[in-house]
Amino acid sequence: MNKKELQHTEDLLWIVTDNKGTVIHYNNAFHLLVCNDIQNSVLQYVHPTEVKSFKRILKNTAEKQKSNIFDVRLKFNTSSYKWFETKVSVSTDATINITFYLIDKRKKEIIQLKDALSKEKYLSQMKSKFVSTTSHEIRTPLSIIKSSAEVMMMFLETINDEKLSKSFMNYLVNINNESDRLSRLINDVLIMQKADMDMIECNKQSTDILSLIMHTIERHNLIQKDGRIMNLTITGTPSNVMIDPTLFEYIIDNLFSNAFKYSQNSNNPDCLISYSSIGFNVSVKDYGIGIPEEDINQIFNLFYRANNAKLIKGTGLGLNIVKKLVELQNGTVLVKSQLNKETEFNIIFHHNS
Ligand code: ADP
């Protein structure tokens, strides 16, 4: 037998030692492959970092009369080491039998990979737990801040000093708006995290999307500082559709918010709902900054923000979530845009999908 044969057949190396590891007998494979030059102790062939544990196992095997299996690196020739699955057991005459099987390199790598993956999984679970716990914890103080600001706003309205009331009102409006922004961010993070873990529940039910959209429009119209409103057009015959109302509202809310945000001081944005026999689609169109051609294919990527949007506040989370939620309900989301002219998002749902 030669070294090549052993590598391919994973043949067995076998030795007998005393309880200190001094070699008494060895088979031909051991002689040929590991120690052309037989030395006294098996420990001389063991990788230096494993000598201590090898010694401990020998001692333990001898004392407890129990066999042990473990992996160890043996000096394969003068310079290199190879992994061997090693079994140590005691014979009736108190000598120790040691067998070594050459371990396939890939097998070893798979073991290491599995270890790495389970560590990675653990770390990612810890990360998710951290994110969801802190996000939930932030919600309570945030709602206290917001409601306190609202109470103070109501109080200010009763004060006769107009100058004082106006200047404080501005601060309170800021607190209120920023609390809303933070709360949207937390909701985005939580929903993102659920989506990552495939934990978003989709409860399709017969939904009146027209009134849902009208309510959302009302909410958005009320908070526009430049006084703009979302125009609404309907084609086809309105009817209830099978959709998850909560997820749908999130989608629409995000598209409306972007339409206003990226078109400050331009024309009113448009929302068009089209009903047909095969399904329905909702288009949200604005006449603002548009999306550069080189960015448009990436805007659904997590945290991606186009170059012309960097001065406008945002996180790059919303559209990624929108796409996930639309696709979760077997819909499609499309975008087209002309720089500095217009941007249109279209969500399409078919009845039979
Ligand atoms: P955010 O608005 O928080 O940055 P989104 O995920 O909602 O995150 O959007 C990703 C990017 O897509 C934005 O940063 C912007 O570059 C671009 N975008 C989205 N909607 C519009 C729009 N209506 N007009 C122009 N650009 C848009």
DSSP code at position 193: H
Q: Which residues line ligand 1 (CB under 6 A)?
A: 258-259, 262, 286, 288-291, 299, 304-306, 309, 314-320, 343
Distance 310 CA to ligand 1 centre (A): 10
Nearest to 336 by CA among 279, 275, 286, 269: 286
Please indicate, yes or no, whether residues 22 and 118 belong to a single structural domain of this protein: no
Ligand 1, atom 10: closest residue by C-alpha: 316
Ligand 1, atom 3: closest residue by C-alpha: 314
Per residue in 149-200, pLDDT (tens digit) is 999 999 988 888 888 888 899 899 999 989 998 999 999 998 988 888 788 9
Please indicate, yes or no, whether residues 166 and 53 belong to a single structural domain of this protein: no
Please indicate, yes or no, whether residues 219 and 331 belong to a single structural domain of this protein: yes
Please indicate, yes or no, whether residues 225 and 341 belong to a single structural domain of this protein: yes
Please indicate, yes or no, whether residues 222 and 89 belong to a single structural domain of this protein: no
Distance 255 CA to ligand 1 centre (A): 9
Please indicate, yes or no, whether residues 217 and 276 belong to a single structural domain of this protein: yes
Distance 208 CA to ligand 1 centre (A): 27
pLDDT of residue 203: 93
Distance 267 CA to ligand 1 centre (A): 18
Q: What secondary structure does DSSP assign to 149-181, as a single string? A: HHHHHHHHHT-S-HHHHHHHHHHHHHHHHHHHH
CATH code at 93? 3.30.450.20
Please indicate, yes or no, whether residues 119 and 87 belong to a single structural domain of this protein: no
Please indicate, yes or no, whether residues 211 and 345 belong to a single structural domain of this protein: yes
**Hey, what amino acid is at 146?**
K
Ligand 1, atom 13: closest residue by C-alpha: 305
pLDDT of residue 7: 42
Nearest to 96 by CA among 11, 14, 32: 14
Instruction: Please name the residues in contact with 128: beta carbons below 8 A apart, sequence gap of 6 or more.
Output: 193, 196, 197
Q: Between residues 284 and 170, which one has the greater pLDDT?
A: 284
Please indicate, yes or no, whether residues 163 and 44 belong to a single structural domain of this protein: no
pLDDT of residue 37: 61
Ligand 1, atom 2: closest residue by C-alpha: 314
pLDDT of residue 207: 96
Distance 24 CA to ligand 1 centre (A): 76
- Expressed as residue numbers, the domain containing 113 is 109-196
Boundary-marking domain end, from 55, 76, 102? 102
Residue 186, token pair as written in the block: 């937390």
Per residue in 232-251, pLDDT (tens digit) is 999 999 999 999 999 999 99
Boundary-marking domain end, from 71, 102, 133? 102
Please indicate, yes or no, whether residues 271 and 313 belong to a single structural domain of this protein: yes
CATH code at 174? 1.10.287
Residue 59, token pair as written in the block: 């001692």
Boundary-marking domain end, from 196, 220, 241? 196
> CA 217, 242, 316: angle at the middle one, nearest 5?
50
Asked if residue 189 lies in contact with residue 181, where contact means CB atoms within 8 angstroms, the answer is no
Per residue in 8-62, pLDDT (tens digit) is 344 688 899 988 889 888 888 887 777 656 667 889 889 999 999 999 999 989 8
**Residue to mutate, 305, 333, 335, 345, ligand 1, most ligand atoms under 8 Å from C-beta:** 305
Distance 316 CA to ligand 1 centre (A): 7
CA atoms lying within 13 Å on the CB side of residue 51: 11
Per residue in 315-324, pLDDT (tens digit) is 999 999 999 9
CATH code at 306? 3.30.565.10
Please indicate, yes or no, whether residues 269 and 343 belong to a single structural domain of this protein: yes
Ligand 1, atom 12: closest residue by C-alpha: 299
Please indicate, yes or no, whether residues 91 and 12 belong to a single structural domain of this protein: yes
Distance 188 CA to ligand 1 centre (A): 14
Distance 149 CA to ligand 1 centre (A): 29
Domain count, the chain: 3
Ligand 1, atom 7: closest residue by C-alpha: 318
**Residue to mutate, 189, 262, 341, ligand 1, most ligand atoms under 8 Å from C-beta:** 262
Distance 20 CA to ligand 1 centre (A): 71
